[in-house]
Structure 1
């Protein structure tokens, strides 16, 4: 990394460490939360924001080394930002459908208007 200026090395290190830390926090959240519905939220945020830091570090490093803007990493950001929430919704809806069809009592109830009567079992 001798070709990098000092400011570039510092910015690169901060982005990589920040991105890795956010990804690690998402993984720890996945292990610590008690239910599937709570667990799917933490890794989604951790991977999304952690990935942004690591991809920005990659773009900065190769821009400084090659002496020209390297922007193709933006495609990675767009792809992961679009696919991660969609995957989260599909997984959570599939698990919710499965749990409700099996009659699991611990499943979160749908949002009800205060005047609506509570759902009857099997509904």
Structure 2
């Protein structure tokens, strides 16, 4: 394997690993559910993307053709992570999970909770 490909793979793995570490740390240390949503949706998505890019480069070199599987996995994660975070936030609002006192615009949470469902 050429040295420049090894460098690209190592850099992508290091970047992915750092983002995954930061995402895991944030998931464990952030004080409430509304702040914890940022950790898996942003940092972890970037971390998995870095690891999958490294895998894509390695598999493309190994097989001799462009590896599409890792690209499809990355696109799936980039599409589904924000949707999952939105559903988790809606569930937290529905169950009236209290944010910490420092959270700004808490009155907007009550406005959202009182909103009626649209009529079909």
Q: Which has the larger radius of gyration?
A: 1
Moved over 6 A (4+): none
Q: CA RMSD in A?
A: 2.4
Higher relative contact order (Cα pairs below 8 Å, separated by 6+ residues)? 2
CA contact (8 A) 2:41 2:81 kept: yes
Count the aligned residue pairs.
109
Match for residue 41 of structure 1 among 25, 38, 41: 38
Q: Kindly tell me: are residues 76 and 31 of structure 1, through their superposed partners in 2, closer, same or farther at Cα, counting changes over 3 Å? A: same
1:30-109 mapped onto 2 (5 Å cutoff): 30-99=27-96, 104=98, 108-109=106-107
- Larger helix proportion, structure 1 or 2? 2
Q: Kindly tell me: are residues 20 and 105 of structure 1, through their superposed partners in 2, closer, same or farther at Cα, counting changes over 3 Å? A: closer
Structure 2 unaligned regions, length at least 5: 115-120
| Distance (Å, rounded) in 1 between the aligned partners of 2:99 and 2:82 | 26
1:18 is the counterpart of 2:15: yes
TM-score (norm. length: structure 1)? 0.78
| Distance (Å, rounded) in 1 between the aligned partners of 2:79 and 2:63 | 29
